[in-house]
């Protein structure tokens, strides 16, 4: 599904924010900037405005997902011509996994990884018997996990496929303090007909 979304956004016509008509679905490309809040990526600690975290456990030739978490805050997209408020809640995010770590019998989980396992109620260790036939003493060893993290970092270039609307800008001063109209700003968010698709894959930002 993500590959299909990536093709959709890469093939969509690109518009600048300054020329983007209201209600028209198009691709815009710009830098993610903070609006008010900022998130800390759970695995790497990097500042971001959106993250995906997945913890899996290898089972034979497959990976079993033990935990998955996505978090987002409002941010702005700046493409050099204008800015838009981006509400990524409910979006489809096709992000490059830029933080991956495997923890197991040969690699003790880091402090952040242990904290994540604890938060999700995942047992980090297990007792295993030593010896050639398992008849030796039992020792506590780390279970095998794979941690994956993908983020929209502060200042990162991303592509967004969606439509925009104009809304009153609460931070702008009217042209006329008495009878001037309130300036507006662009806002992009998901709708039932057109959920936002956000990607940082190089094929979508060109």
Measured in residues, the chain has a length of 206
Residue 194 contacts residue 153 (beta carbons within 8 Å): no
* Residue spans of the chain under pLDDT 50: none
Q: What is the pLDDT of residue 45?
A: 95
Q: Choose among 18, 17, 21, 1: nearest CA to 9.
A: 1
Q: Where are the domains of the chain?
A: 2-205
Q: What is the pLDDT of residue 174?
A: 67
Q: What is the pLDDT of residue 46?
A: 96
Burial of 14 (0-12, 13-18, 19+ CB in 10 A): middle
Q: What is the pLDDT of residue 149?
A: 96
Q: What is the pLDDT of residue 102?
A: 84
Cβ atoms within 10 Å of 34's Cβ, excluding its own: 16
Q: What is the pLDDT of residue 180?
A: 62
Q: What are the tens digits of pLDDT across the range 176-190?
A: 655 666 678 899 999
Q: What is the pLDDT of residue 124?
A: 82
Distances (CA, A) of 43 to 74, 92, 93, 115, 181: 21, 21, 18, 10, 46
- The tokens describing 205, both together, are 């930002």
Query: Which alpha helices (DSSP H) does the chain contain, by range?
Result: 2-11, 111-119, 202-205
What pTM, to 2 d.p., does this model score?
0.83
Q: What is the pLDDT of residue 175?
A: 63
């Amino acid at each position: 599904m993500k590959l299909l979304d990536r093709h959709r956004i890469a093939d969509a016509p690109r518009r600048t924010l300054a020329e983007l008509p209201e209600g028209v679905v198009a691709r815009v490309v710009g830098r993610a900037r903070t609006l008010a809040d900022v998130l800390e990526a759970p695995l790497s600690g990097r500042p971001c405005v959106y993250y995906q975290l997945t913890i899996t456990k290898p089972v034979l030739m497959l990976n079993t997902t033990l935990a998955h978490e996505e978090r987002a805050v409002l941010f702005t997209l700046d493409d050099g011509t204008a800015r838009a408020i981006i509400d990524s809640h409910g979006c489809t995010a096709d992000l490059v996994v830029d933080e991956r770590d495997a923890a197991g019998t040969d690699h003790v989980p880091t402090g952040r990884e242990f904290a994540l396992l604890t938060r999700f109620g995942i047992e980090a260790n297990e007792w295993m018997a030593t010896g050639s036939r398992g008849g030796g003493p039992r020792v506590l060893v780390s279970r095998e996990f794979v941690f994956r993290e993908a983020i929209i970092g502060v200042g990162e270039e991303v592509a967004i496929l969606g439509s925009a609307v104009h809304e009153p800008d609460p931070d702008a001063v009217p042209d006329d303090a008495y009878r001037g109209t309130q300036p507006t700003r662009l806002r992009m968010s998901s709708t039932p007909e057109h959920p936002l698709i956000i990607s940082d894959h190089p094929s979508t930002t060109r």
